[in-house]
Structure 1
């Protein structure tokens, strides 16, 4: 009877150790396949050039998609600070890289505020404000 208890006792602890080992492997695999955190993309205005009385050339750049996919990027502008997607918008691309917007039909001798934007599944981010004044 003592031998039976020893065998049973050893088997029991072997099974427990095996369960612990399998649990550790499964936990490690789950940690490795965890989805990356997603956040807003990073976007900036590179330059504002070729300003005329009715247009300008705005170069923007998306440098980080935020762990997701940028589905829209470009520039928005208006005569008040902090323009957004509800203002005048030039949607010119998607993904990472540099993009050029050319707003037209602007009023002459008017100051416009511009922000670059980039949208992914988390939301829309904006660059800081830049401004330019159209020629007379």
Structure 2
């Protein structure tokens, strides 16, 4: 084999190896960025109405699933600020949309804090804290 052919073949072989390496890096980066497109869902309390001495109607809304799938949504409440899933919970749905939670067996003339929540594969997000006081 002539020196020219040997250099040409060696160059092509090196070029092919470099291209495979670059393709592997690109595939790895694409696979790693898939989950970065997912984030916590966006959820809010729309209203708190129909307050009685022992119950209330809480309307919540999941506006964005965060690039994933919301598997649970509802409201959590308690007498301390910023209740979470370890407090009283009403899990009422999944996915996008508006949902109604109706906590019952509340104490009369008591101030309750409430937050909406939504859970997807990234985790659980909460709305801002709102409060209401049951009737006497």
- With normalisation by structure 1, the TM-score equals 0.84
Distance in 1 (CA, whole Å) between partners of 2:9 and 2:71 is 57
Distance in 1 (CA, whole Å) between partners of 2:89 and 2:19 is 57
- 2:91 aligns with 91
- 2:5 aligns with 7
How many residue pairs are counted as aligned between the two chains?
134
- 2:132 aligns with 132
Structure ID, larger Rg = 1
- 2:50 aligns with 50
Cα-Cα RMSD: 2.0
| 1:63 Cα deviation from its structure 2 partner | 2.3
Q: 3-state DSSP class of the match of 1:55? A: coil
- 1:17 aligns with 15
| 1:62 Cα deviation from its structure 2 partner | 1.7
Distance in 1 (CA, whole Å) between partners of 2:7 and 2:57 is 80
Question: What runs of 5+ residues in structure 2 fail to find an aligned partner?
Answer: none
- 1:41-120 correspondence to structure 2 within 5 Å: 41-120=41-120
| 1:122 Cα deviation from its structure 2 partner | 3.2
Deviation readout 1:37-92 (Å, 9 max, x if unpaired): 24332221111112122211101112233333322111011122121222211010
Q: 3-state DSSP class of the match of 2:100? A: strand
Distance in 1 (CA, whole Å) between partners of 2:87 and 2:94 is 20
Distance in 1 (CA, whole Å) between partners of 2:74 and 2:2 is 77
- With normalisation by structure 2, the TM-score equals 0.84
